[in-house]
Amino acid sequence: MKGFTLLYASLIVSLILSVAMSIAHIALTEVLLSSAGKDSQSAFYAADTGLECALYYENNVEATGGARFFPYKDGNDLVGSSANDISSNLECGTVSPTSVLVNLGANDTATTTSKFSIQTSSGICFGVVVEKKKRDAFSTDLYIESRGYSSCDVGSPRRVERGLYTTFSH
């Protein structure tokens, strides 16, 4: 009889242990899912910040001296800001770009691409690509793509990227 009591006790402990481990696994999965949702939301807000920053500078002609901020090529002439002007004048929040690249096309119908990235001290990172193409004497086509990241650490396995883009002519 003493052997059966030990066997029943072992079975009951095993059953309780399996239920506890199952509950712990479910709780851990829920924590990871909620963390992924938070990271996704942070990345989306970072992408939105980059898009809004680019739109602000492109459309706020008072802040840019009466001209469109991001450059485009009109024949052989550059219209708008240079990479140095973008780097020294653009500020999102209170942070200036960590890198700026302006790539002019080879002919007067080529697209001009401006890229900038910003990394804040709070760990928010985003990169923005602004492409402009002169349509005619009075308008240009504008494409803005912003990619936000939940972490500035490129090697992080939990890093989430979200992107937004907009197009219009002005």
For position 19, what pLDDT does the model report? 92
For position 44, what pLDDT does the model report? 92
For position 111, what pLDDT does the model report? 66
For position 20, what pLDDT does the model report? 93
pLDDT band at 59; cut points 50, 70, 90: confident
For position 14, what pLDDT does the model report? 93
User: What confidence tens digit (pLDDT) does each residue in 88-98 have?
Assistant: 677 777 777 77
State the average pLDDT for the chain.
79
In the predicted model, is pLDDT for residue 145 greater than 60?
yes
Residue by residue, what is the 3-state secondary structure of the chain? CHHHHHHHHHHHHHHHHHHHHHHHHHHHHHHHHHHHHHHHHHHHHHHHHHHHHHHHHHHCCCCCCCCCCCCEEECCEEECCCHHHHHHHCCECCECCCEEEEECCCCCCCCEEEEEEEECCCCCEEEEEEEEEECCCCCEEEEEEEEEECCCCCCCCCCCEEEEEEEEEC
For position 138, what pLDDT does the model report? 75
User: What confidence tens digit (pLDDT) does each residue in 65-88 have?
Assistant: 666 677 776 666 666 666 666 666
pLDDT band at 4; cut points 50, 70, 90: confident
Question: Does residue 160 or residue 71 have the better pLDDT?
Answer: 160
